[in-house]
Amino acid sequence: MRRPTFSLLALCLAVVILAGCTPSSVSDEPIPTGALAEEELQTLLGSDQAQLLSQIDVGENYILVESSYGSSANQFSLYDRTSGSLETIPTLPVYVELKEVVSPDEILLTTDGTNSESVIREVPALLRCLRTSSGFQVVREPLTYALDEAAELGSWNESAQYTLAAASVTLSGLELITRMDPAPDAEDLPPVEISSQEGELRVTIRHCTPGEGVTLAGEPSPFSPYCSGAHMDTDGDSIVLVLTLTGAAEGYILEKTACPGEGNGGSSAPAAQMAARRRPFVVGRIVTAGCR
């Protein structure tokens, strides 16, 4: 019998340190069209299945090309007009959107976490694509959300039962541990939606029920300068956790990483330590915009 798997979602609220940290959005100005035909792109990629979706001039010497193969996720490539070469940015299988072209050597993309190969949804992220002598290297960074921006992560396995195993307010926010039974081949959080209204951050966990004795209440102000109160409600098969924010909280960041197992650090939360003894689990974190 397979043991249940645990996932950890840590919600950390921190103040924005510098006003200039807010990420810029894609310009609404018309995008100039390059001069690469779909047949040329197919030849460069070595596949007649490649579809040309869009292209944008990058200075005088380059074209940033967006393409896809059948049902696969889209991807971007940089075409060098001078050499005739094409460098593909390795982002498959996640779906991506262009955020900003800083230069031919630095391109910023975003992903909402969905991909073309699996129902497992990664955390939305900024993908900083840096061109090196050996090709593009992709650095994954947290996306910064304003408090009035909604976010989602996680996925749903209809054959599994999700349980909220622990919930606690920490120094930087809210820490949640969910259990999934039976354990899947690929671990993930249940569907989680984050939104805010009237000074409250609402975290809704879909298809999840509270574990025995799990509560979230009280005045956590001694532990977090960004949260003055917290409580938990249920809504059908969903759990809604509500944080009352202080004026120090101005935004949040979503992160999710593999948590080390026993003997490699683990987590300070007792339930997290229990999960680490069984098998690795997933860590998600939400922090406010910070130039960190």
Note the pLDDT tens digit of each residue in 50-95. Answer: 999 999 999 989 999 999 998 899 999 999 999 999 999 999 999 9
Question: In this predicted model, which residue has the larger pLDDT, 210 or 15?
Answer: 210
Band of pLDDT at residue 167, cut at 50, 70 and 90: confident
Residue 276 and residue 162 share a domain: yes
135 plus 151 within the same structural domain? no
Which pLDDT score is estimated for 53? 95
pLDDT at 282 over 80: no
- CB-based contacts of 53: which residues, under 8 Å, 6+ apart? 66, 67, 68, 74
Say if 26 falls within a structural domain.
Answer: no
Q: Which of 257, 223, 254, 252 is nearest to 14 (CA)?
A: 252
For residues 185 and 171, the answer to whether their CB atoms sit within 8 Å is: no
For the chain, what is the mean pLDDT? 74
In this model, does residue 264 exceed pLDDT 80? no
Q: What average pLDDT does range 256-278 have in this prediction?
A: 36
Q: What's the pLDDT band for 173 if we cut at 50, 70, 90?
A: low
Tokens of 151: 């976010």
Beta-carbon-side half-sphere exposure of residue 36 (alpha carbons within 13 Å): 33
Q: What is the pLDDT of residue 253?
A: 75
Residue 137 and residue 49 share a domain: yes
Indicate if 193 and 259 belong to the same structural domain. Answer: yes
Per the domain annotation, does 30 fall within a domain?
Answer: no
Residue 270 falls inside a structural domain? yes
Element (H, E) at 8: strand 5-12
Examine the domain organization and report whether 127 and 154 are in the same domain.
no
Angle, alpha carbons 261-264-266 (nearest 5°): 60
Point out the domain boundary residue: 124, 142, 160: 142
Q: What average pLDDT does this structure show over 161-175? A: 75
Q: What are phi and psi of 125, to 5 degrees?
A: -155, 160
More confident residue, 55 or 258: 55
The pLDDT assigned to 161 comes to 78
Cα(236)–Cα(216) distance, rounded to whole angstroms? 18
d(Cα 137, Cα 130) in Å, to the nearest integer? 5
Considering the domain architecture, whether residues 103 and 173 belong to the same structural domain is answered as no
User: Do 136 and 274 sit in the same domain of this protein?
Assistant: no
Q: Are residues 122 and 213 in the same domain?
A: no
Q: CA-to-CA distance for 95 and 91, rounded, in angstroms?
A: 8
Can you tell me the distance from the alpha carbon of 203 to that of 156, in angstroms, rounded to the nearest whole number? Answer: 16
pLDDT reading at 254 higher than 80: no
Q: Which of 13-17, 87-91, 170-174 has the highest mean pLDDT?
A: 87-91
How many CA atoms lie within 13 Å of 108's alpha carbon, on the beta-carbon side? 14
- Total domains present in the chain: 2
The shares of helix, strand and coil residues in the chain, as percent rounded to the nearest 5, are 5, 45, 45
pLDDT above 70: percentage of residues in the chain: 69
User: Distance (Å, rounded) from C-alpha 269 to C-alpha 267?
Assistant: 5
Q: Which residues pair with 287 in a beta bridge?
A: 253
Which has more confidence, 286 or 162?
Answer: 162
Percent of the chain at pLDDT above 90? Answer: 31
User: Residue 24, class by beta-carbon neighbours within 10 Å (0-12 exposed, 13-18 middle, 19+ buried)?
Assistant: exposed
pLDDT at 256 over 50: yes
What pLDDT, on a 0 to 100 scale, did the predictor assign at position 230? 85
Residues 46 and 116 in one domain: yes
Q: What pLDDT does residue 106 have?
A: 97
Per-residue pLDDT tens digits for 110-160: 999 899 998 888 888 999 999 999 999 999 988 888 888 898 888 777 777
> 164 pLDDT exceeds 80?
yes
Distance between CA atoms of 273 and 257, rounded to whole angstroms? 16
Task: State which of 142, 172, 187 marks the end of a domain.
Answer: 142
d(CA 255, CA 36): 37
Q: Using CA atoms, how far apart are residues 92 and 31, in angstroms rounded to an integer?
A: 24
Structural domain that includes position 135: 38-142
Domain end (from 142, 171, 201): 142
Within a domain: residue 79? yes
Domain identity same for 257 and 164: yes
Q: Does residue 43 sit within a domain?
A: yes
Same domain, 53 and 162: no
Task: Looking at the structure, tell me whether residues 125 and 153 fall in a common domain.
Answer: no
Q: Flag whether 27 is in a domain.
A: no
Highest mean pLDDT pick, 14-23, 28-37, 83-92, 216-225:
83-92
Domain-located, residue 85 = yes
- What per-residue confidence (pLDDT) applies to 238? 92
pTM higher than 0.75: no
Position 189 scores a pLDDT of 75
